[in-house]
Amino acid sequence: MSESKSISPHKHNGADFPSYEMPSDNDLKVMLSEFHYLFEMFCERMDLSLSDISVDEKLVIKALIRLDQRRLHYKMYHNGTIINELKEVAILCYWLIKYKPIIILEDGVYTTSKINEVFALFLILSTIVEYRFTQGLPEAVIQADMIQHIMYTLRNRASTFDSMVILVDALADR
């Protein structure tokens, strides 16, 4: 089988396989400050005091880089696909739930319980609102009791990228 000898796992169509480059420091700085803004908005709407909360920003940066990696994955392996905002938020939330960067002081104890999932849902709902508005569609109908079901899923069920994408797509009623 002399033909197979010329196929190298490190080459793609004869050229070196491209390697991933992380977003620039400045781009990540902008993303981090946007994250701060969103997080403060979340705390304000949840009536949470920022003095009771701590955020491990290293984990936030890591989640943002993971999202960027996934964008490139789709572009490379899915025929140049630029993923939409619903997929982006699903992927970001997958990592935020996995890394749990937010810690809250509750009854004198620091805990990651629930707040990361609630923040993720806040991001998902906000993205759905904007996605449908931008497309000129009426607001998606999401029953209030769905929140408890989704919270249970996010906290207790094994989720993958794909299941998160399906969940967000279904909520967005696409």
Partner 1 sequence: MSEKMNEGKWTGYTTGDKALALIRQVKSDMQADNTPNEQVREGKTFLGFVKAGAERQTEQSDKLIQELKGALV
Cα 19 from Cα 11, distance rounded (Å): 11
Shortest separation between residue 64's beta carbon and partner 1, angstroms = 9
Identify how many contiguous H helices and E strands the chain contains and give both numbers.
7, 5
Q: Considering beta carbons, is residue 103 or 151 the nearer one to partner 1?
A: 151
The answer to whether 110 and 103 are in contact (CB under 8 A) is: yes
Shortest separation between residue 54's beta carbon and partner 1, angstroms = 16
Shortest separation between residue 9's beta carbon and partner 1, angstroms = 18
Cα 46 from Cα 48, distance rounded (Å): 5
Binding site for partner 1 (CB under 8 A): 30-31, 34-35, 37-38, 41-42, 45-48, 67, 78-79, 81-85, 87-89, 114-115, 117-118, 121-123, 125-131, 133-135, 139, 141-142, 144-145, 147-148, 151, 174
Q: Considering beta carbons, is residue 8 or 113 the nearer one to partner 1?
A: 113
Distance, C-alpha 105 to centroid of its chain: 24
The answer to whether 98 and 92 are in contact (CB under 8 A) is: no
Q: Name residues whose C-beta falls within 8 Å of residue 121's C-beta, 6 or more positions apart in sequence.
A: 93, 147, 150, 151, 154
Q: Considering beta carbons, is residue 19 or 118 the nearer one to partner 1?
A: 118
Q: Considering beta carbons, is residue 98 or 155 the nearer one to partner 1?
A: 155
Shortest separation between residue 46's beta carbon and partner 1, angstroms = 6
Q: Considering beta carbons, is residue 115 or 164 the nearer one to partner 1?
A: 115
